[in-house]
């Protein structure tokens, strides 16, 4: 897990959003979102489905006009200069962006043509892409016959052919096995080291841990934005407890009612509780024991990004209710 | 644009089904419709009531039977059973020769035959009536030899299609019909397929502009459809003896103009539809019906109600069929059909602009 924050002061801003809003009728998909992404940063957008991640990316790629607010990518305004943006970004959409009835080389050549590459530059980039996708020896294989991991790398290579300074990856590792996923992220680290800004959405906590900074999105709003370490450091020491007990799912409502419990959630067959004071642990164990969920164990743990995420959503919904 | 065209051609080459539909369908349809669609009527079931039984009456009957249009299904002495024969469809026509016929002919007196027709199918009845008149006139003249000579005789002289063979008239329309349907559907499906697969989203994030995308996608289909058009016309010439009197260059030009309009229309439809199924339905409805009904393919435009005549002006097949008949049957040059060509160019331009605007907006 390499999650080092870049020297934010030195690197110029490549992507910025100011009170960016997009609504579809009465539904507000993106609600006054503001952030800045520096050159070479791996910027993660974490949120469940429907949180507004894809809509934000589509606005930044110039595919969708913002309802209000503004955003710029590589120095160009998304609302008025989309044509300039399109030559300076790579976009790997959530849905498969390759033609499965074409071969590896045919796909590469097509996308290179779409980015207007030709001549010696074209040949050079094709060689680079085959190498990155590790498909030098399967140039004439139809894409539909490739394993998922290779397709994902090829799709990434396709949208990087024109060497864009920014690349937007919308849930790039869906349906790929863990090993291929890990190698895909190694590739992202390489890109970032070479100065490419990587903007990536995910709903996997493991992947979010590998980003330099993570933005938490929920119901169209940006709830928190920091490095993974910074987000987790927001908890006072000892306030995240892991509760092991019988019938954990049924114990959850009881746990949530106990005094001092800020929020609680089910993690597999265990419960995580965020409390206002580390000393609450003993009382919680006693209360659950009494309620018939013995044997009960309560241990303070290091918070994960998921704890951060759940608490942020919890706080936001309580705020919205009052 | 060329990148899009090259990619589309590669995909088209791998897509056996679409390729087959584009190339083989026109040929199959032309064969089926070419043989089935004909206004020429043959083997009409004729009941003969000969009450005269003379040499003259036999000669008339013989003339009917040897014309090739009629087959005798009954030989009666009196007309009464005819009612039932018509009701049950045993006979479609009846020739009734009165008892006085032989004597009248022998005495060189004016006489009459009765020709009974089943008029429930007016189109067929009209044609049959025409045949019958012709036969009676010809035989009558023979029977009366030189004596029968009316003061004024109209001598019909039919140009371009002297046998009034309806396939000469229908095949150009058929070619237009087939090309329109296949070009509209093929392109509409090609664009909507990208939407369904999700590749459209990625294409939009590239510097490609809508016009490049549309024209690039259309070009390969234009190529394949042109091959299909050439095939259909060759078949029409070889199988249905449609003479190609005009220049091949003009023929190719007008066909490409027409195809471009059809492909443009397919592009426009693809911007309206989000699934291949909807695109297919829209394509079929909007290309088949107007081309079949409002283009002069089967029903002459001049005999349509005023409102339909106006609507027919926006049906590209109307211009194509008209120009095609001029070129194929008459062999005339653009000085005659330039306005048809111009109309096709206008249609193509309008449709392509519409498609581009719609695509830009829907993106």
State the complex-level ipTM.
Answer: 0.80
| The pLDDT value given to residue B165 | 63
Nearest to A114 among B11, B14, B203 (CB): B203
Average pLDDT along chain A, 322 residues, taken 10 residues at a time: 47 92 93 95 91 93 92 94 93 85 92 90 94 91 90 92 94 86 93 95 89 93 92 82 89 89 88 89 90 88 87 81 54
With residues binned 3-state (H G I as helix, E B as strand, rest as coil), the percentages for chain B, rounded to 5, are: 70, 5, 25
Chain B residues inside the 8 Å CB shell of A106: 7, 10
| Mutate: best of B10, B193, B205, partner A, most A CBs <10 A | B205
Task: Check CB contact under 8 Å for A97 and B202.
Answer: yes
Contact A168, A131 (CB under 8 A): no
Chain B residues inside the 8 Å CB shell of A95: 197-199, 201
Take residue B184 and report the two structure tokens written for it: 């509209």
Render B127-141 in DSSP notation, one character per residue: HHHHHHHHHHHHHHH
Gap between the Cα atoms of B318 and B176, Å rounded? 9
Gap between the Cα atoms of B320 and B327, Å rounded? 10
Gap between the Cα atoms of A113 and B216, Å rounded? 12
- Gyration radius from chain A CA atoms: 23
| The pLDDT value given to residue B161 | 60
Residues 6 or more apart in contact with residue A173 via CB below 8 angstroms: A152, A180, A181, A184, A185, A202, A204, A207
Task: Check CB contact under 8 Å for A113 and B198.
Answer: no
The DSSP 8-state label assigned to residue B326 in this structure reads I
Contact A29, A186 (CB under 8 A): no
Helices and strands, number each (H, E), in chain A: 11, 14
Chain B residues inside the 8 Å CB shell of A86: 205-207
> What sections of chain A are H helices per DSSP?
53-60, 82-86, 104-114, 119-132, 148-159, 178-193, 205-209, 228-232, 248-257, 281-290, 305-321
Chain B residues inside the 8 Å CB shell of A109: 3, 6-7
Is any Cβ of chain B less than 8 angstroms from the Cβ of A91? Answer: yes
| Mutate: best of A89, A110, A141, partner B, most B CBs <10 A | A110
CA distances (Å), origin A28, targets A46, A52, A80, A218, A220: 18, 9, 22, 12, 7
Take residue B353 and report the two structure tokens written for it: 């602009």
- Gyration radius from chain B CA atoms: 27
Residues 6 or more apart in contact with residue A164 via CB below 8 angstroms: A87, A88, A89, A90, A196
Contact A202, A168 (CB under 8 A): no
Pairing of strands A270-275, A261-267: antiparallel
Residues 6 or more apart in contact with residue A285 via CB below 8 angstroms: A243, A296, A297, A298
| The pLDDT value given to residue A220 | 92
Gap between the Cα atoms of A30 and A46, Å rounded? 14
Nearest to B205 among A89, A96, A106 (CB): A89
Q: Looking at the DSSP assignment, which residues form a beta bridge with residue A67? A: none
Q: Which helix (H) or strand (E) holds B362?
A: helix B334-362
Pairing of strands A197-202, A27-38: unpaired
Residues 6 or more apart in contact with residue B137 via CB below 8 angstroms: none
| The pLDDT value given to residue B143 | 65
Task: Check CB contact under 8 Å for A99 and B207.
Answer: no
| The pLDDT value given to residue B147 | 41
Task: Check CB contact under 8 Å for A159 and B202.
Answer: yes
Q: B277-310: b or e for each residue (b if 16 or more CB lie within 10 Å)?
A: eebbebbeebbeebbbbbbbbeeebeebeeeeee
Render B43-60 in DSSP notation, one character per residue: -EEEEEEESS-SHHHHHH
Question: CB pairs below 8 Å between A and B: how many?
Answer: 69
Q: Which helix (H) or strand (E) holds A100?
A: none
Q: Looking at the DSSP assignment, which residues form a beta bridge with residue A17? A: A35, A71
CA distances (Å), origin A10, targets A45, A177, A216, B190: 23, 37, 25, 48
Global confidence as pTM: 0.76
Q: A38-74: b or e for each residue (b if 16 or more CB lie within 10 Å)?
A: bbbbbbbbbbeeebbbbbbbbbbbbbbebeebbbbbb
Q: Looking at the DSSP assignment, which residues form a beta bridge with residue A224? A: A216
Nearest to A96 among B4, B6, B198 (CB): B198
Q: Looking at the DSSP assignment, which residues form a beta bridge with residue A194? A: none
How far apart are the CA of B205 and the nearest CA of chain A, in angstroms? 6
Task: Check CB contact under 8 Å for B202 and A92.
Answer: yes
Cis preceding-peptide flag for B282 (omega within 30 of 0): no
Gap between the Cα atoms of A83 and A160, Å rounded? 17
With residues binned 3-state (H G I as helix, E B as strand, rest as coil), the percentages for chain A, rounded to 5, are: 40, 25, 35
- Residue B149 in 3-state DSSP? coil
Neighbours of A250 (CB within 10 A): 12
Average pLDDT along chain B, 363 residues, taken 10 residues at a time: 81 79 79 71 86 86 86 88 85 87 80 80 77 78 50 52 65 81 83 86 86 83 84 82 83 89 88 88 88 81 84 89 86 87 92 84 60
- For B9, counting Cβ atoms within 10 Å of its Cβ (0-12 exposed, 13-18 middle, 19+ buried), the class is middle
Task: Check CB contact under 8 Å for B205 and A86.
Answer: yes
| The pLDDT value given to residue A6 | 47
| The pLDDT value given to residue B150 | 39
């Amino acid at each position: 897990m390499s999650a080092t924050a870049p020297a934010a002061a030195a690197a110029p801003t490549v992507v910025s959003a100011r009170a960016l809003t997009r609504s579809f009728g009465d539904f507000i998909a993106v609600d006054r979102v503001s952030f800045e992404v520096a050159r070479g940063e791996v910027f993660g957008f974490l949120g469940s489905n429907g949180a507004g991640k894809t809509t934000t990316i589509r606005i930044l790629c110039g595919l969708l006009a913002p309802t209000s607010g503004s955003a710029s990518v590589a120095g160009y305004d998304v609302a008025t200069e989309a044509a300039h943006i399109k030559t300076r970004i790579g976009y790997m959409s959530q849905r498969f962006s390759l033609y499965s009835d074409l071969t590896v080389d045919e796909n590469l050549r097509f996308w290179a043509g779409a980015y207007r590459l030709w001549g010696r530059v074209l040949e050079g980039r094709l060689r680079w892409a085959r190498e990155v996708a590790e498909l030098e020896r399967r140039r004439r294989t139809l894409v539909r016959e490739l394993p998922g991991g290779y397709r994902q790398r090829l799709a990434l290579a396709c949208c990087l052919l024109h060497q864009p300074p920014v690349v937007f990856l919308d849930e790039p590792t869906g349906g790929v096995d863990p090993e291929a996923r890990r190698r895909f992220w190694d590739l992202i680290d390489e890109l970032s080291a070479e100065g490419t800004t990587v903007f990536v959405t995910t709903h996997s906590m493991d992947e979010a841990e590998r980003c330099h900074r993570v933005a938490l999105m929920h119901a169209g709003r940006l709830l928190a934005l920091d490095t993974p370490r910074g987000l987790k450091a927001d908890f006072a020491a000892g306030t995240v407890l892991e509760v092991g007990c019988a019938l954990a799912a049924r114990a959850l409502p009881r746990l949530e009612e106990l005094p001092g419990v800020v929020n609680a959630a089910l993690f597999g067959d265990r419960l995580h509780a965020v409390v206002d004071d580390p000393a609450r642990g003993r009382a919680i164990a006693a209360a659950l024991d009494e309620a018939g969920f013995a044997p009960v164990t309560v241990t303070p743990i290091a918070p994960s990004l998921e704890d951060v995420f759940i608490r942020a959503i919890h706080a936001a919904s309580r705020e919205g209710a009052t | 644009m060329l990148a899009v065209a090259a990619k589309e051609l590669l995909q088209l080459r791998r897509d056996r089904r679409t390729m087959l539909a584009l190339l083989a369908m026109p040929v199959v349809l032309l064969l089926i419709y070419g043989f089935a669609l004909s206004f020429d009527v043959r083997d009409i079931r004729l009941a003969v009531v000969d009450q005269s039984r003379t040499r003259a009456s036999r000669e008339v009957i013989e003339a009917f039977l040897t014309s090739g249009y009629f087959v005798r299904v009954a030989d009666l002495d009196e007309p009464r059973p005819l009612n039932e024969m018509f009701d049950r469809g045993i006979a479609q026509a009846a020739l009734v020769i009165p008892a006085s016929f032989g004597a009248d002919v022998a005495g060189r007196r004016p006489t009459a035959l009765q020709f009974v027709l089943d008029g429930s199918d007016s189109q067929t009845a009209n044609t049959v009536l025409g045949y019958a008149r012709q036969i009676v006139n010809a035989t009558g003249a023979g029977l009366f030899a030189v004596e029968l000579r009316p003061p004024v005789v109209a001598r019909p002289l039919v140009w371009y299609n002297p046998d009034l063979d309806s396939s000469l008239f229908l095949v150009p329309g058929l070619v237009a019909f087939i090309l329109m349907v296949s070009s509209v559907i093929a392109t509409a499906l090609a664009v909507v397929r990208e939407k369904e697969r999700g590749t459209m989203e990625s294409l939009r994030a590239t510097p490609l502009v809508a016009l490049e995308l549309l024209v690039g996608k259309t070009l390969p289909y234009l190529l394949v459809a042109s091959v299909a058009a050439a095939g259909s016309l060759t078949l029409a010439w070889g199988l249905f003896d449609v003479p190609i009197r005009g220049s091949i260059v003009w023929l190719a030009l007008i066909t490409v103009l027409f195809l471009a309009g059809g492909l443009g229309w397919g592009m426009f439809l693809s911007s309206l539809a989000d699934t291949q199924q909807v695109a297919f339905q829209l394509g079929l409805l909007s290309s088949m019906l107007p081309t079949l009904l409002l283009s002069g393919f089967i029903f002459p435009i001049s005999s349509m109600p005023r409102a339909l005549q106006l609507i027919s002006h926006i049906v590209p097949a109307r211009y194509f069929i008209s120009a095609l008949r001029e070129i194929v049957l008459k062999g005339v040059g653009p000085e005659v059909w330039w306005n048809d060509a111009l109309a096709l160019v206008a249609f193509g331009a309008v449709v392509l602009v519409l498609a581009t605007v719609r695509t830009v907006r829907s993106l």
